[in-house]
């Protein structure tokens, strides 16, 4: 796995919009904060473009992302927001340059698709706050955690809930948004979960759809040989007009009950201001205990 270097003051960070369209000036806070960290912010030429749902035409979003990957002076690439759009363009992105000059790619939600493509090519990425996250004052702690990871290679997340299945393991980590993980199945960028910690988050889905997606992961063998399973934020989950009969937590617990690997809910990962960064492809120590759980990155020397 290729891990980009730590950032230093004076480095350049690009902000690009590979997915949904932005509101005007929605990156002002990100630019201000990143500049205060000593970074030089480079905005993609089409970052504020609009094309119906998307942040510009596919060709323009490809061009901005490719330019950020190809430019040797760019040390990190921050995605502006999620939504939808990466799946339409990612197979047209050339990755040779980012392999030669590794740089952190940062984002979550729809960016899960890009992270899985990078991971399958042996390039680590950061699941974490995006450009529009910086304007949310409640995200301050998560953004500071991103700063620590980028500059100092430190990352530790706690879940203040009793673990479902206790255990202490060390393994690589993969994961992201549940819908995008399921969408990867049967594609060249299909998620590889074997002997890994899998983390999952989701937003605005009905309970029966969560059950359906977990059943698909189960049938695809993606839950069989995990090292551990951790669950982040499941935000704005809708029971639907007809009750499903189980909560979303019960759905996951019941599916995972036949496995002995560590399982914990309550990690601050996903569609909430408390969205702490995770290094996809990184080696992590997961400690699931009776009262709380911790997830800590073992950064490569």
Determine the angle formed by the axes of helices 207-219 and 248-256, rounding to 10 degrees. 20
Active site residue ranges = 109, 201, 271
Q: Rounded to 5 degrees, what angle do the CA atoms 254, 258, 264 make?
A: 60
Calculate ∠ Cα 262-184-99, nearest 5°: 90
Beta bridge partners of 280: 125
Q: Are 165 and 262 in contact (CB under 8 A)?
A: yes
Q: Nearest CA to 76 among 163, 162, 160, 10?
A: 10
Beta bridge partners of 158: 294
Q: Which of 80, 108, 110, 106 is nearest to 16 (CA)?
A: 80
Q: Which of 18, 176, 187 is nearest to 90 (CA)?
A: 18
Instruction: Identify any residues that bridge with 235 across adjacent strands, giving them in sequence order.
Output: 203
Tally the residues of the chain: 301
Q: Rounded CA gap, 249 and 260, in Å? A: 17
> Is residue 37 within 8 Å of 13, Cβ to Cβ?
no
Q: How far apart are CA 155 and CA 153, in angstroms?
A: 7
Residue with tokens 């430019």: 71
Helix, strand, coil share (%) of the chain residues, nearest 5? 30, 25, 45
Q: Are 203 and 236 in contact (CB under 8 A)?
A: yes
């Amino acid at each position: 796995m290729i891990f980009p270097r730590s950032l230093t003051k004076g480095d350049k960070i690009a902000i690009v919009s590979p997915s949904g369209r932005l509101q005007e000036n929605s990156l002002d806070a990100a630019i201000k904060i990143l500049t205060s960290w000593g970074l030089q912010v480079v905005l993609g030429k089409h970052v504020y473009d609009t094309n119906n749902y998307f942040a510009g035409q596919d060709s323009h979003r490809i061009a901005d992302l490719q330019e950020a990957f190809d430019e040797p002076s760019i040390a990190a690439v921050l995605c502006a927001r999620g939504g939808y759009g990466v799946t339409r363009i990612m197979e047209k992105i050339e990755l040779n340059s980012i392999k030669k000059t590794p740089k952190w790619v940062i984002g979550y939600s729809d960016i899960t698709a890009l992270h899985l493509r990078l991971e399958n090519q042996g390039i680590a990425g950061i699941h974490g706050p995006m450009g529009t996250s910086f304007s949310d004052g409640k995200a301050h702690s998560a953004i500071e955690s991103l700063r620590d990871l980028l500059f100092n290679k430190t990352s530790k997340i706690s879940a203040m809930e009793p673990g479902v299945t206790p255990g202490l393991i060390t393994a690589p980590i993969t994961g992201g948004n549940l819908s995008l993980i399921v969408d990867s199945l049967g594609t060249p960028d299909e998620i590889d979960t074997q002997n890994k910690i899998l983390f999952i988050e989701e937003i605005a889905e009905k309970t029966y759809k969560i059950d359906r997606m977990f059943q698909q992961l189960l049938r695809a063998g993606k839950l069989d040989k995990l090292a551990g399973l951790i669950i982040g934020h499941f935000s704005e989950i809708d029971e639907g007009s007809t009750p499903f009969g189980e909560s979303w937590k019960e759905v996951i617990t019941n599916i995972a009950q036949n496995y002995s690997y560590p399982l914990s809910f309550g990690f601050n990962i996903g569609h909430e201001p408390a969205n702490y960064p995770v290094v996809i492809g990184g080696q992590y120590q997961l400690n699931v205990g009776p009262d709380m759980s911790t997830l800590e990155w073992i950064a490569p020397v």
